Amino acid sequence: MQSSVDVDFFTEYGEGNRYRIEEVIGKGSYGVVCSAYDTHTGEKVAIKKINDIFEHVSDATRILREIKLLRLLRHPDIVEIKHILLPPSRREFKDIYVVFELMESDLHQVIKANDDLTPEHYQFFLYQLLRGLKYIHTANVFHRDLKPKNILANADCKLKICDFGLARVAFNDTPTAIFWTDYVATRWYRAPELCGSFFSKYTPAIDIWSIGCIFAELLTGKPLFPGKNVVHQLDLMTDLLGTPSLEAIARVRNEKARRYLSSMRKKNPIPFSQKFPYADPRALRLLQRMLAFEAKDRPTAEEALADSYFKGLAKVEREPSAQPVTKMEFEFERRRITKEDVRELIYREILEYHPQMLKEFLEGAEPTGFMYPSAVDQFKKQFAYLEEHYGKGGTAAPPERQHASSLPRACVLYSDNKIQNTTEVTDDLSKCCIKEVGEPPIDRRTGVQAPHNVQGVAARPGKVVGSVTRYSNCGVAMTAEAEPRRGIRNPSVSAQNAASSYPRRNPSSKNEGGR
């Protein structure tokens, strides 16, 4: 039990009492993610501890890039960083604790657990992805690693794009395309120009291709191009799309890729109506545009949003655009930086969540807050204990959290504060059951309408559950006529997978994995 001195100390100077840690929901090479309760706001959050971030400058730079982009890209379809805990020392800290909004699952799990998604689901999912992508691209940012596991999901069908560690910014005074290597994106969702090193620079159309692959996976429940290697990946693409024209091949700058495509046997394209026989024809026309072999033939996110497939869903001209990211924010990308440089830059980003200390920092004053331990010190033992017991089924309280009220609970909290046993929740809410509640409400300002509610079929264990919450085109929940959202997941499955979609240190592409 904490002494009253410790409690008073953290109440006055630190953030130690703000978050009540509940359970580990993810673990990886980066560190550990715990769900927690924010006593200031009453919200459930995910706190991610990222270990030893300065062990490799490249990893630290990726973390810096991500927390900076997530601060700048504030949009309902992009995951939000709510807070970053203040480190105990400006020049010696090794770990950081990032507080995210807590999402219940990811699109990979939704696809895996639901084989009866409706046309309304498909339309609403794709609209959100393109709406978020429009915002990202108008900021001159390329995501570069869009895939189902990097799309967080809630049972109300809300999606949020995450994992910006591989993103890049293109500046207005440079060519419209951006230079980078071809192997960063996860293979199954890579555009053809990346698979073949077709060009030395690329356009935002690489993200449009990835969204097309994700949408096709939603329609069928299976990855569209699950290549075993780069050559197999190109073979699968051309099996569906046909071999590219001689004019298209001539535009490929990489000689080896050009020779390979020229030597490929002639293949005719497979009609999308044959590949996806039960899909809405309008959806297939848009999908075919997004999966054009040549980048120049793919629509922009804004053009895709204006497609007739979304007629009546929203007014595309009202979807928000972003201010372009400035050079000053990403000046570090243009030079070689040291471990000390990136530590200082990450510290500066953390101060964005501590306005008073940021003011002192900008005024050149030595921040007095560093005279006292921060919340990080209190969290260290709790995280260490939970990490040690992760997956072992232990229920003992962490050493510093002896009060019964702070123990991880084997239950799901509902929006009406009722508590239900985990087994009952899994049995009762084991699928995405969207109930019939009449005509979806429409936001009079924006004209947005979320999917019609459709009665689900028999439950199956492990399925994502819950009713649809209506959203305006800015992603604000429309609660006047919507049924209150309820706890939706089997905690042992969905939360763990949701956590895995939060920003990771090591790019999956380093292993050349399909996922």
Residue 155's CATH number: 1.10.510.10
- Looking at the structure, do residues 118 and 228 belong to the same domain, yes or no? yes
Provide the H-helix boundaries in 80-140: 107-113, 119-138
Look at residue 249 and tell me if it is in a domain. yes
Query: Which residue, 274, 299, 323, sits at the end of a domain?
Result: 323
Tell me the pLDDT tens digit for each residue of 6-37. Answer: 233 223 324 657 888 888 888 877 778 889 99
- Looking at the structure, do residues 71 and 125 belong to the same domain, yes or no? no
- Looking at the structure, do residues 271 and 207 belong to the same domain, yes or no? yes
Confidence of residue 108 (pLDDT cuts 50, 70, 90): very high
Look at residue 118 and tell me if it is in a domain. yes
Q: How many domains does the chain have?
A: 2
Task: Give the chain's end-to-end CA distance (angstroms, integer).
Answer: 44
- Looking at the structure, do residues 90 and 136 belong to the same domain, yes or no? no
Look at residue 500 and tell me if it is in a domain. no
Alpha carbon 23 to its chain's center: 21
In contact, 512 and 187? CB cutoff 8 Å: yes
- Looking at the structure, do residues 88 and 228 belong to the same domain, yes or no? no
Task: List the 105-106 sheet strands across, edge first.
Answer: 105-106, 151-153, 159-161
Look at residue 183 and tell me if it is in a domain. yes
- Looking at the structure, do residues 243 and 130 belong to the same domain, yes or no? yes
3-state secondary structure string across 397-419:
CCCCCCCHHHCCCCEEECCCCCE
Angle, alpha carbons 82-87-88 (nearest 5°): 150
Evaluate if residue 480 carries a pLDDT over 90: no
pTM over 0.85: no
Identify the CA nearest to 290 among candidates 133, 490, 471: 133
504: tokens are 């990771």
Identify the CA nearest to 20 among candidates 41, 39, 48, 1: 39
> What is the CB-side half-sphere exposure of residue 183 using CA atoms within 13 A?
8
Q: Please tell me which of 157-161, 375-379, 480-484 the model is most confident about, judged by mean pLDDT.
A: 157-161
Residues 48-64: what's their mean pLDDT?
A: 91
- Looking at the structure, do residues 110 and 97 belong to the same domain, yes or no? no
Longest dimension (CA), the chain: 77
- Looking at the structure, do residues 247 and 170 belong to the same domain, yes or no? yes
| Cβ neighbours for 437, distance < 8 A, ≥ 6 positions apart | 453, 467, 481, 482, 483
Please give the full DSSP string across 265-276, using - where no structure is assigned: PP-PPPPHHHHS
| Residues identified as active-site | 145
Domain of residue 365, CATH code: 3.30.200.20
Query: Which residue, 385, 409, 433, sits at the end of a domain?
Result: 409
Give Cα separations from 50 to 123, 221, 385, 486, 506 (angstroms): 36, 33, 16, 30, 12
Q: Which domain holds residue 69?
A: 4-103+336-409
- Looking at the structure, do residues 297 and 372 belong to the same domain, yes or no? no
Distance CA 308, CA 404 (A): 55
What average pLDDT does the structure give for the chain? 74
Look at residue 487 and tell me if it is in a domain. no
- Looking at the structure, do residues 76 and 208 belong to the same domain, yes or no? no
Confidence of residue 220 (pLDDT cuts 50, 70, 90): very high
Look at residue 399 and tell me if it is in a domain. yes
- Looking at the structure, do residues 63 and 128 belong to the same domain, yes or no? no
Query: Which residue, 359, 394, 409, sits at the end of a domain?
Result: 409
Evaluate if residue 159 carries a pLDDT over 80: yes
Q: Which of 65-74, 131-140, 486-495 has the lowest mean pLDDT?
A: 486-495
- Looking at the structure, do residues 281 and 360 belong to the same domain, yes or no? no
Distance CA 272, CA 287 (A): 9
Look at residue 508 and tell me if it is in a domain. no
Look at residue 425 and tell me if it is in a domain. no
Binding residues for ATP: 49
Which of residues 185 and 243 earns the better pLDDT score? 243
Sign of the C-alpha dihedral computed for residues 203, 205, 210 and 211 taken in this order:
positive
